[in-house]
Structure 1
Amino acid sequence: MKNKKGNALREDILKVSEQLFKEYGYDHTTFQMIADELGITRGAIVYHFKNKHRILHTLFEDYFQSIHNYIKENLNENFNYYLYYCIFYIYISREITKNEKNYQLFYHKDYINSWENEKLMDVETSYQLITDNFNKDFSKEELRLATVMDLGARKSLFKEFSDDAGVLTIDKYSYYRVYLIGVLSRLDEATIQKNIQRAFEFVDAHELESIPLLA
């Protein structure tokens, strides 16, 4: 019973934080605001999330997991991991870039730090799956290099997009994002283009439910 109550409070913290992040922004939302909204102490929040960054990280991770689940449920024909990750990142790119307020969340320094520290292995695993899928012989060092190049390039690409959105449309930004994955996986041009086209067709045909954080 105690564990069930704890899990319920954790979910309440996430729900209220999501609403406050959306209304006031990440930087202007405090633990005290979250506690006051729920009628609990700040210590009760710290028990579940040691800092505000952990709340934001969890919200994004939960959302990304829902996208992964949705793709798995609906991508039935000619599955490959490059196509899978193309679809995943096109969804993310479209959601993040449709609203400038979302930039402040997804590209906040706290969340970027999580890419470089906590997400390194996840991104490396995605390259492992793609390269295995296409029978590319990558050493552990080469996989790590592809991962580091990916994480650096995505920040540079977003800066190019946000500095002058007239140069890169959302879909062009999405295209370059997934094209990079294909290049770093050493896929040939025809394979890259075929899978990117299929990915856009899938995303256009399968609309995701919006979430308050990125609405």
Structure 2
Amino acid sequence: MKDTREKILLASEELMAKYGYATFSLGAIAEHLKISKGVVTYHFSKKDLILFELVESYFRHAAEYMAIHMTIDKTAPEALESYISANIRYVAENRIRTLAIMNIIANHRDKNGRLTFSDKDNLICQPLIEIFQYGQMEEKSFRPFSPEMMAMFVRSVIDTLSGRIAINEIEDYEGAIQETISVFAIATRRDE
């Protein structure tokens, strides 16, 4: 049974990445897996349950990846570099999942028409804000700027690159990583 549940989630990612949000349905999953819709609804009674599980799983997996690949015990500039690098590498290693999640986040709405997965509290920027604050206040390695604004700039670049990498428009993701690191090293460094 657990195997079927996992197959449904994997098929959901594949369908969402390949065909987008508009055509995604429990019936499409059943047809893709060549099983009855009843088998799908046995595991997930509503499409929303699949979408929530996919998003939660993606961000949990990404956080685990980041925890392994980020350098947080060195300088703030090194932490920023590893944050950028780990984010973009995660996307490059999980293109289909990333594209599926981007489709869900950009399109899934609640009954009042509001985006379900919007980051109203801007939690995704919090690690960057902390890196910038530490680099400004403790190390003095970053110039004065708004940590919140700079975090939004970094996330915007990462998110844009993520979409382009996920659809294979950027094949040289290592080059994209290095260029992004260089841009933000220049943007944040304190000139002596």
TM-score range, shorter chain: 0.5 to 0.7
TM-score of the superposed pair, with normalisation by structure 2: 0.57
Distance 2:43 2:164 in 1: 41
Partner residue of 2:147 out of 143, 147, 158: 143
Within 5 Å, give how 1:53-92 maps onto structure 2: 53-71=51-69, 78=74, 80=76, 81-92=79-90
Aligned to 2:135: 134
Distance 1:112 1:177 in 2: 24
Q: What is the RMSD computed on CA atoms of the aligned residues?
A: 4.5
Aligned to 2:100: 105
Distance 1:160 1:38 in 2: 36
- Call closer, same or farther: CA 1:183–1:102 in 2, change over 3 Å: farther
Alpha-carbon distance, 1:102 to partner: 5.3
Alpha-carbon distance, 1:19 to partner: 2.0
Partner residue of 1:21 out of 12, 16, 35: 12
8 Å Cα contact 1:71-1:84 kept in structure 2: yes
8 Å Cα contact 2:13-2:54 kept in structure 1: no
TM-score of the superposed pair, with normalisation by structure 1: 0.53
Aligned to 1:187: 189
Aligned partner letter, 1:127 = L
Identity %: 7
Alpha-carbon distance, 1:126 to partner: 1.7
Aligned to 1:211: none
8 Å Cα contact 1:16-1:37 kept in structure 2: no
User: Structure 1, residues 22-72: CA drift from partner, whole Å, max 9, x if none?
Assistant: 5544445533536957836369544xx735432331121121122133237
Distance 2:106 2:82 in 1: 23
Distance 2:128 2:156 in 1: 15
- Call closer, same or farther: CA 1:76–1:118 in 2, change over 3 Å: closer
Aligned partner letter, 2:12 = F
Aligned to 1:39: 39
8 Å Cα contact 2:129-2:151 kept in structure 1: no
Alpha-carbon distance, 1:173 to partner: 1.7
Query: What residue ranges of structure 1 are gaps of 5+ in the alignment?
Result: 1-7, 190-215
Aligned length in residues: 167
Aligned partner letter, 1:150 = V
Aligned partner letter, 1:126 = P
